[in-house]
Each structure stands twice: as C-alpha cells, then as structure tokens.
Chains A and B, each alone.
Chain A
C-alpha cells in the first residue's frame, strides 16, 4: 500500500517543475515583478480611484517621462558606467525647448530637433570624457551634474521671465503635452515605441549585442576587437537624448519652467533602474527590468505624495523600499544558481524486478570467451562507443575527439580520419546508399555522405505540449536504426542532462528519455515514444515493422511497433536484465546482440526504490561520492525475438573489454566497442553466416 502510494507520488507529483522553472531566464525578473504586484496591490487598497481612467492615464504620462530617463540610465549601466548628470540634462533641455517655443516662437518640429540635439551634445560631453578619454564615469558625471546644473540655473534665470510672459498657440505643442490617441497620452506612445525598439536592439541586433558584450566583459570585448570606446561613448549620448526627450514631454505638459526642475532626479532614476534589477557594474539588465523599475518607483513616489504624507515620511518609505528590493534582488541573483543546483536533481521511484542470476547453470553464465580476441587500434582510438563496417569490410568507429575513424580492411592496421563531426559520435548506421548516419552527443543526428561530407540531418523535434523546459533541442541522441522505408528511429537518452552528466541521470532514473523518428520524405522530426528511462540501443526488428530498444537504468528491452497491425504499441521483450543494456544489433541467425555496459548490484537497486535517500545524497555529497551504477564489467548477450537469452560472452579478467557499449556482427566476426575503452575487439564467431552484414548496400541504382 505505502509502496504504491510512494510510486504514484513519484510518478505524478511534478518534482522536476521547481528546478526547471528556476532555470528559466525570465526568472531573473521575478523579484521586480513580485515587487510591482505588491506595490500595485498596496496602493490600490490604500488609494481610492487608483484604477480610474484619469488616474491611470495621468500615471502613464508621468511614468513615461520618468521611463525615458531610466531607459537611458539602463543603457549606461549595462555598458558598465553610470550617468548622474541626467537630471541636469533633463532640466537644460526642458528650459531650452520652452524658450524656443515660447520666446522664439519656433514651430514644434525644429524646436524639438534642436533640443534633442542639445541633449545629444550634453551626452556627448560625458561620452567623450568617459569613453574616449577613459575618465571614471561616476566622478565625471558627478562633475558634469554640477556644471550642467549651474548652466541650467543661469539659463533659467535669464529666460524664466520670457517664458512666463510669452505664450504660444501651437496646436502641435499642446497635443504633445496633453493629447491622447486611443485615450493613451502621447508620451506613453512615444515611450512604448522607444522601449520596444530598444528591446529589439539589445536582444536581437548586432549593435545591442556589442553593448551587452562590452558591459559583460570589457576586457574580452576589447580583445575580441569590438569598438569598446565607441560603444561606451554612444551609450551616454543616447542617455542624453532620452533625458532631453523626457524634458520635452514634461515641458509640453506643464508649459512653464521652474528653478528646481530635475533636481534630485538622478537618485530617483537610479532607484528605478536598480529596483528593476539592473546591476551596477554592467552586463546585466533589460528593457523589461527598466520598465518594471520605473513603474514601481513612480507608483511609490506619486502615490505617497497623493496620500499627503510629509516629505520626510516619503523619503523614509522610498529608502526602505529601495533597500529592501535591491537586497532581495541581489540575494536572489546570487542564490538562484545554488537553488537550481540543489533542486534540479529530482530522483524518481524505480522498482526494478529481481535481477536474473549469472551463475554457472544460467543462460548468463560467466565465461572467458572474450579473453583471447584480436585487438584493433589498441591505444590509437579513444571512446569508440559504436563500431560499424561497410561493404568493403572497412571498420568505422567514433572517438571522443569528434572524429569518425576508419580502419582499412583487411588487416585494420591503417587508420585514418574518415570525417570530423565535431562531437562525440555515438550510435551509427549505414543506409542502403552508403550514407553513414550517426548520433552525436550534444549535437543531434548527422550523416556522412560517401564523399565524406558531414551534413546535419536533424537537431530538434516537436516540443512537448506541457513541458516547462524547452525539450525541442536534442541533447543526447544515442543510437539509431533505419526502417525499410527510410524512416530513421533514434533514441535520445535524456532531455534533462548533457552527455557527460549521464551519471546524474542514472541517479534520477526517471522517464527522461524518448524515441524520435526522422522522416526523410517529409524532412520532419517527431517524438514517437516518451518518458523512457535512458533509452539507449535501437535495432530494427527482424520482421521490419518494429524496433527493439533498450532502457539502460530500467534494465529492460522493449519493442515499439511503428507499422503493421499493432502500430503504436510498446511491449516488453526482456523485462529484467542482470545489467544495464546499451546498444542492440542484429545477429546473422535472425536474433539480436545486446551489449551490457555494466552489471546491477543489490545496493544500487535498493536505492532506486528510495528516491528521498538519493535526493539527500545528491544534496549533501560531492558528485564523486554518489552511488553510481557499476560499469566496471559488462558482457554481450544474444537473445531471440521472444527475449530468451541464447548466449553470453564475457571477459572475466576485465582487461580487454570490461565495459562494452556496442557490438556489430559482420561476416563471421563480432566487433566490440566501449565508450571508456581504447581498443576495438574482434571475436571470431562459430556457426555464423560468413556473408552476413547488418546494413548491406543497395544493389542497382541508388535513389535520388
């Protein structure tokens, strides 16, 4: 009873969701989003009419004005600088545009153009000093803050009377300040357009990537030949332009000038950027965060003033919220990685049937048949996971250096790089036209043409409907076989880990793997069987309508019917093996060879029924101290279509072939590969068909 409960709990409870959610890039923004929701909830409870149309539209307009400057500050912060002078630039541009419109009676377009140019110039002063002359951003903008401010005070003093006494009747000017389009203020439209453009620029365009690169690592960007100085300088220019844009909209809305315009603005802007989660020091930040921070800080400041709190209380509240959210965000940023590490590994419940005996009278009886075998490429290959032979008896195998090696018949002394594929080649199969299809760990399904050209066949499949993590990319394509109609069935051992992390997947022993079908006629890749426990070897059944596949950690072999009356069904062939099955291949007598890469042990089997224990182990111990499947010794067995074991081949001394991941029968010999081995074995089979080969080349004309 309890066991059943435990089984269902581990089968249906979404343990993996937490870790996968935490891994999502957008979780970066979690703290500011929560902060925004809390802020909105609090003030809508405290203030009546918080959601009324006029309040919202008023808020949108003023928040947009702040948003321009925050966006500029965000760019500067991402590049790794800081711009304290934005408030002064804002003030100067504000008084300038008012002067041009009121006193000079200029039309709106040239007035705005000149003002934007002025903002760009003021920004360029910062940019040249910081970007090209290499001054410190904080200090320089601190000084330009004071210089620009005094400039503003002098201008304002001179122009204030003129601005107040002259009026303008420009329709466009008032429309800019108080006009609505679809009941949304113009400032909000402009801000939305610029924010979206900036977002696209930062995330999708080369220039934006340069900005992120310079901020992320200035030194690397410099060494990579990026125009670091230009990028830094232009970020200040953009900041100046955005500040001036804000000054223009503010001027159009208020239509009069005041001596304290923009004083203390740098603090509010900085607070908005940092509460949004943009980090000082560069490389981290996004438009989304800038917008979130703007809205939060704006809501707090404006709502506090409409709640008629004193200036002192507003300041205290602002300071507390500022510290609270930045601290939270910094702790979150720092600990998310650790949390992912701790929570990602989520062992499942796996009740393995009793392991069959390997005693003397059993079909698995240990022998020493693989002791005296011929060795090919001893010490010259590394990690030949799979081996395969062509029509001319040449031998192919993968190596961990990302090559497919070829040993030339008849003596297999001469070795050459057949093709460089760039990743660890795993399972291989020839199609009837002599194309070598190969599963490459971390890359997907590739093929090598007879002309030795490497081509990608597929590296993605359909994304599962309700998965949290994107499982459309192939992480660990493992073994394949080709159906008579040309469809390629291949296994992906796990969607949650990389190839070198197979041990963690064994600790989970969940249904993380799947079988995928690539159809060359439609050029489509679809997942056909899901939730398999490390599916590994794949072999076409003797009747040509099904595939046999091995599930390593579940120690079983099953059959999947892809054609015929039972199409779509999965049925067990061997429900319990004494070890962990790897590749499956055809034998000349119509049966199947199965490689066992390691043998089961009672302790590990027991731990498979104790998920909580394994989870504790994964949290408390270093990975090299974990329980792990025993892969120090393995064997090759032969079975028939019904799953009866007919023969077993062992290397008792464990010197030549302790761990076997693949074997291939070819013209009376059995060739053996091992992913942790440095040799290929060649074993003479008795009573085998001397002409048998698994993937014979098509006679007659090749297909198109």
Chain B
C-alpha cells in the first residue's frame, strides 16, 4: 500500500511532456547529428548520399532485426555474422561449380538452419547461457568456413546466382533493392512480433520466462524458434550483401561487425534483459550508426578515428540513458549483464 502511494507522484513527474526513454534520446541525437551534418557537411544532404546511407545500413539493419528477435526473448546471438558469411559463401561456391541453383540455396539455408537449431537447443534445453553458446557456434562455423568447404576466403558472386540478384544487386525506382529487402524484412518481423501469437510469446518469455512457463507457454520451443529466425534472417542478409557487392568475404567474421549489430539493437532501446523494444527501435539505432559512419566518411576520417568517435558517441548515449533512467538496485535483475 505504502509503496504504491509513494510511487504514484514519481510516475507523474517522469511522464513529463516528452517521455525521455532511450529510443527518444537516440532519435533526438540522430536528428541533431543529421541537421548538423546537413548544415556543415557539403555533399551530405543530397538524394545520392541519402540513398547511399540507406544502402550501407541495410545489411546492418537486417542483422539488427534478427538480433532484436533474440534479444527480446532474453537471449543474444553472436553467431549471426558467421551465419551471414559461411552458408552464403557455401551457396555461392556450390552454384559456381554447377550445382543447381535451388540445391545450392537449400544447402546454404540448411547449414544456417542447423546452426540456428544448435544455438536454440543448447540455449533452451541444455541451459547454456546464450552468450557462450553463440560465441562458440559462431567460432565453430567460421572454422568450418576456413577448413576446406570453400575454395577461397573471398567468394565472388557467380553468374549462376543471377536469377536471385534482384534481392540486393539491382535498383527499383532508383532505390537499391537491398533497401527494399531491408524494408520487407522489417515489415515481416514487425508483423510477426506484434500480430502473431508466437511473437507475443517471445515478448512474454523475454519479460519473465518463469511466469511464461507457469502460464503454459511452450517456452523452450519458442526459444529455439528465436534462434532459427535469427539464423534465417542472417543468411538472407548474407545473400543480399553478396548480391549487392558481388562478393562475399568470409573474413568479415574477424571484424567487429557483430558488435555493431549488438550496438544498433541495444542503442535503439531493445533492452538486453528482454521483453522490450521492437522493429522501430532497430531502425532508429541503425539510422544513427549509419549517419555517423557516413558523415565521418565524408569528413575523410581514418577507420580508427571513425571507430573512436563512434564509440565515444555510443558511450555518451548509453550514459545519458542510464542517468535519465537509473538502474534500481532493488529491482535490477540478478545476473543482468
């Protein structure tokens, strides 16, 4: 009784005119940076550059969507970059050696599904923490990619795959098709999360897995499904990426792309503790990261300097969020990293 009474006025003050949650903060930062770049950077605000930004972020955005599905269900999938690279490269290698297009696609997707299942089963049934499972499976899949099934680390886009080039390598009304693919995935994920029973289950499980289990939801199968969806989105993003740049460099696993994906998701406001956020958060996070990267490229920053600036901006964003929405020692979840 007492606590309810003392909480009420607090809630009121928090809900001022603008509710400053993380998503809003990030969006405001994005707007500020966008305006600043538009004013001070010659060649930033024109259609060509804006399309360029969109194209550069579409793969990151897709990966972010897959990651978001897992993170909402209180997991994390660090194997996404490996799943993006190796199965795609497998499909491309097979197709280039004359294997039927359909079979090559099936082989790649099957590999991705196998690893999605492995992630899900280990996490849901063996109860290995998601962070470890996916760290290890990603490492393993990258290892598979290096150990003989591919002829080269860098696989070129074979002509045999041209029938599906439209997913990323062409343009439609002047818009790169990779951006359209991103939009399609975003809409599909959004519909899945908000309009289907299983999507709502993912939110419930992420919010409180024990309560979800008590209510009778199939917690473990749904957890497996999350990783499966993430794997499928990753391999699709891989095909889009390969078709738009006409090459798949499997060494992409060694770069910090997976960290960017996690940043995009969490920065946008999909809480790592699960149950919160959605597609809109991913889009906002992706826009911010994409804009910053684009601006710095125009400014001719070195790769290291770009990373440094990006990191500092991200740290500031997270710090501002934690000052505005401080962690409560009373209600913080144990083991919440």
Contacts and interface: CB of A to CB of B under 8 A. Distances in A.
B135 interface: yes
Given A282-B335, A315-B139, A320-B140, A136 B311 contact: no
Interface string A203-220: 000000000000001110
Contacts of B148: 312
Contact of A80 (B262, B308, B335): B335
A78 B126 CA distance: 22
Contact of B307 (A136, A146, A320): A146
Interface stretch (A148-156, A436-444, A469-477): A148-156
A133 interface: yes
A111 B254 CA distance: 32
Contact of A319 (B139, B259, B322, B332): B139
B131 interface: yes
Contact of A228 (B137, B139, B329): B329
Nearest to B141: A319
B140 A315 contact: yes
Contacts of A312: 142-148
Interface stretch (A326-334, A398-406, A489-497, A568-576): A326-334
B326 interface: yes
Contact of B127 (A138, A218, A334): A334
B334 A80 contact: yes
A310 B126 CA distance: 30
A259 to B, nearest CB: 11
Contact of A281 (B126, B140, B307, B334): B334
Interface in A126-152: 129, 133-140, 142-147, 149-151
Contacts of B262: 139, 142
Contacts of A136: 266, 272, 318, 336-337
A315 B332 contact: no
A217 B334 contact: yes
A611 interface: no
Contacts of B329: 218-219, 222, 228
Interface string A566-587: 0000000000000000000000
* Most B Cβ at <10 Å: residue of A143, A154, A319: A143
Interface in B310-337: 310-312, 314-315, 318-319, 322-323, 326-327, 329-330, 332, 334-337
Contacts of A150: 304-308, 311
A323 interface: yes
Contacts of B259: 142, 145-146
Contact of B311 (A129, A147, A264, A310): A147
B180 interface: no
A150 B296 CA distance: 15
Contacts of A669: none
B215 interface: no
A318 interface: yes
B335 A280 contact: yes
Contact of A147 (B127, B146, B307, B337): B307
A313 interface: yes
Given A327-B122, A327-B128, A134 B326 contact: yes
Q: Is the interface of B mostly helix, strand, loop or mixed?
A: helix
B111 to A, nearest CB: 14
B136 interface: yes
Contacts of A280: 129, 131-132, 335, 337
B133 A139 contact: no
A140 B317 CA distance: 11
B266 A139 contact: yes
B254 A315 contact: no
A599 interface: no
A319 B79 CA distance: 12
Interface in B83-141: 122, 126-129, 131-133, 135-137, 139-140
A629 interface: no
A313 B147 contact: yes
A318 B131 CA distance: 16
Given A280-B337, A331-B126, A319 B143 contact: yes
Contact of A129 (B139, B307, B315, B337): B315
Contacts of B132: 270, 274, 280, 322-323, 326
B337 A316 contact: no
Contacts of B140: 315-316, 319-320, 323
B150 to A, nearest CB: 10
B315 A140 contact: yes
A316 B135 contact: no
Given A311-B146, A312-B143, A267 B315 contact: no
A81 interface: yes
B115 to A, nearest CB: 11
B93 to A, nearest CB: 15
Nearest to B76: A138
B5 to A, nearest CB: 21
A121 to B, nearest CB: 15
Interface in A637-659: none
B256 interface: yes
B248 interface: no
A270 B133 CA distance: 12
A594 interface: no
A445 B310 CA distance: 68
Given A135-B322, A138-B272, A326-B128, A316 B147 contact: yes
A256 interface: no
Contacts of B144: 312, 316
Nearest to B307: A150
Contacts of B322: 133-135
Contacts of A137: 337
B332 A149 contact: no
A538 to B, nearest CB: 48
Nearest to B328: A134
B263 interface: yes
Given A312-B143, A312-B148, A81 B311 contact: no
A680 interface: no
A323 B147 contact: no
B318 A143 contact: yes
Contacts of B304: 150, 153-154, 157
Contacts of B131: 82, 138, 280
Contacts of B337: 80-82, 136-138, 280-281
A313 B157 CA distance: 26
A135 B22 CA distance: 13
Nearest to B145: A312
Contacts of B263: 139, 142-143
Interface string B242-274: 000000000000101001001100100000100
Contacts of B254: 263-264
A330 B128 CA distance: 7
A542 interface: no
A82 B146 CA distance: 29
B315 A313 contact: no
A219 B272 contact: no
A314 interface: yes
* Most B Cβ at <10 Å: residue of A142, A217, A282: A142
B305 A314 contact: no
A338 to B, nearest CB: 14
A581 to B, nearest CB: 49
B310 to A, nearest CB: 7
Contacts of A140: 315, 318
A625 B310 CA distance: 65
Q: Which 4 pairs from chain A and chain B are nearest by CB?
A: A281-B335, A315-B143, A312-B146, A312-B147
Given A274-B132, A318-B136, 18 more contacts: A80-B334, A82-B131, A129-B319, A134-B322, A135-B318, A143-B314, A146-B307, A146-B311, A154-B305, A311-B143, A312-B142, A316-B140, A316-B144, A322-B136, A322-B139, A323-B140, A326-B128, A326-B136
18 contacts: A129-B319, A135-B318, A136-B336, A140-B318, A142-B259, A143-B314, A149-B256, A150-B308, A217-B334, A282-B334, A314-B143, A315-B140, A315-B146, A316-B147, A318-B139, A318-B143, A319-B139, A323-B132
